[in-house]
Chain A
Amino acid sequence: MKRLSIVLATFLASFGLAQMYNTADEVMDAMDAQASPDTSITTTTMKITSGSGQTLSRQMQTWSLGEEKQNIKFTAPPDIEGSGFLTIEQSDGSEESLLWLPALGRVRRIATSGDDQDGSFFGSDFTYEDIGGIEREEWESVLLEIRDGPLYIVEVTPKEATSTQYERIVYEIPEAELIPTRSEFYKAGELFKIMTISEIAEVGGYRIPAAMKMETVGTGSFTEIQQSGYTVDEPIPDEVFSERFLRR
């Protein structure tokens, strides 16, 4: 009986009919339902390549407590080594941002705004909006196509009141991963950026993008991010998300 089921599943899959989800909302709900770690410590290496082929690198260590608190410390290159960036979500959902620059010698509160979503993430091709992802309730989702795999092609468009730089995003989401392995960002009717996730790591039962690339189509520049050294769900003392740790 079991053998028959496997044969049947293989047969159905070959016709692209074995998918578990039939609507965009089902796919997005399944993505949202994936567990994410309560805490994580990650080493991130970022390589920024300009349209002319010149490269700059950034290396940083990140401590995260869910989506509430995050402390980023740069470990390379030497001219920015030691700089740190702490964000703490306030009870009303707004975000407090503190910056530590060793040359300045003090922690500085910095302004963040809705417009910041368009701002570059530490000079890379990623924006804060790209890193943070979209808020489901602020976007309409449409399932455009189901390809072999199955691979879901989902288009999201912002609702009227949504603050975003994009007019639509098209995701390619393999059912096996439930992480968009390719995302196309459209602006002013044209393809603006393409993000690909080429490696997904399994850490502590979580699927985490380990290697990704964001290309800006118009300029030819691109940024590659490699994440490693994961520690998940290990307790992180609250003082890690403090000015004291930022200064250390």
Chain B
Amino acid sequence: MRLALILFALILGAAYAQVDLDLGGEIRTDFGVVFRDHAPVDSLTIFDLTLSGEVGSGFFPDAAFDATLRARFDAVRGEMAVELRDAFATLFVGDFDLLIGQQTVSWGSADALNIVDVVNPDDLRNPFAGEKLPLPLLRAIYNGPGGLKVDAVVIPAFRASTQPASIWQIDTPPIIPPEGTTIVGQNPPRDNLPAAEFANVQFGARATYRLNLLKGADASIVYFSGIETTPTVTAEFIGEQEITVQPILNYDHYQLIAVDFSVGIGDTVLRGEAGYTFTKDPGGTDPAVGNPSFNAVLGTEYRFGDVTTIFQGNFDYARGDDGEQADLAFSVLATATYSASARLSLEGAWFQGFDGGGLIAPRASYTFADGVTGELSGSFFFGPEESRLGSFRSNSQLRTSLGFAF
């Protein structure tokens, strides 16, 4: 018995000695004001606590783990939430990395608009913050010879994107009741969230090949069988002459086939993505299901000393409903980032849609001390009310944030 205890203590001691733990995190406050009425649009305090570690030693350990717990208080809405963000383990097994748990996967090559970055749902409370929601999934990355990498994911259970905050919600077209009827009321939306069953398991893979070409290049092909994380909204009418509207939220199954690449040519990096989305309504006959679409982006990055510039063109096509015209949209994105010093970075972004709407977003970030960073940014929407971005004109805002990482 005594021998067993000593042996157990030795094993425990040896195992503990091989675990390298790191506890860190960030406290951040974020405050935003809309110009229209100087009303605060956000007043957030976020506290992230991250525990990470590795088991084993060497250039690649046996395993690694990461877990982040987030506490978020929204003073404007009076909401307090504690949530688990990324929490996953990675096993390094030969040429494979096996990642299990709640995590965030980023696919793609382009900037700001990524067609192939479809694995995680988005936190759309502020749709321009670009924050994703981590998702429980299984991920296997094969790091093959000669620059081949295959990244495969399986998502057992569906998670929807969060709904935009009220100021970011787009006005839906008015509901036209059947002839001879009158709308007398509207029920709360019925959310047809996909159930946790085999038919709703999402999966996909991205195969990337790196080439010793020019100043380096890579090309990827992506397949993803998924479920749209933002719903298609339809309505049912309950009753005969006096009817009640029942909005229904459906989440469409789709398949994406896409490519993305980046290549260094001289002083420039060229990046692109293109993908075709197949839906269960190829003919556009079912208004409850989204239609097939094609999207493409092509961009360049060029550096002038401490200034990095990006110019990108975006193209979106969606098949119209039966008998209707297809939706076409073009837009361009231009950004310039100037690293003025170790502390100060200035950035300007201009997004212009060909429907006349656009966004200008300047940002300045300043590092006050090691780990202490402040940011001042603005979002100025412009264009006709009927344009995508022009409809947010009254949401033009100024934001400031201060973060301390430890």
Contact = CB atoms under 8 A, between A and B. Distances in A.
A56 B343 contact: yes
Contacts of A48: 342
B229 interface: no
Interface string A151-165: 000000000000000
B105 A115 contact: no
B215 A105 contact: no
A54 B367 CA distance: 11
Contacts of B372: 79
B64 interface: yes
Interface string A107-133: 011111111101110111000000000
Interface in A216-248: 236-237, 239-240, 242-245, 248
B267 A112 contact: yes
B185 interface: no
B306 A119 contact: yes
Contact of B370 (A77, A90, A112, A243): A77
A124 B343 CA distance: 10
A248 B267 contact: no
B212 A106 contact: no
Contacts of A14: none
Contacts, number: 123
Interface in B309-351: 339, 341-343
B267 A239 contact: no
A36 interface: no
Nearest to A81: B24
Nearest to A98: B216
Contacts of A118: 305-306
Contacts of B212: 90-91
Contacts of A119: 303, 305-306, 339
Nearest to B24: A78
B339 A123 contact: yes
Interface of A: 48, 50, 54, 56-57, 76-79, 81, 88, 90-91, 94-98, 104-106, 108-116, 118-120, 122-124, 236-237, 239-240, 242-245, 248
28 contacts: A48-B342, A56-B367, A56-B370, A76-B370, A78-B26, A79-B405, A81-B24, A90-B215, A90-B216, A94-B215, A94-B264, A95-B215, A96-B264, A98-B216, A109-B263, A110-B303, A110-B308, A112-B215, A115-B267, A115-B303, A115-B304, A119-B306, A119-B339, A120-B342, A123-B341, A239-B59, A239-B60, A244-B149
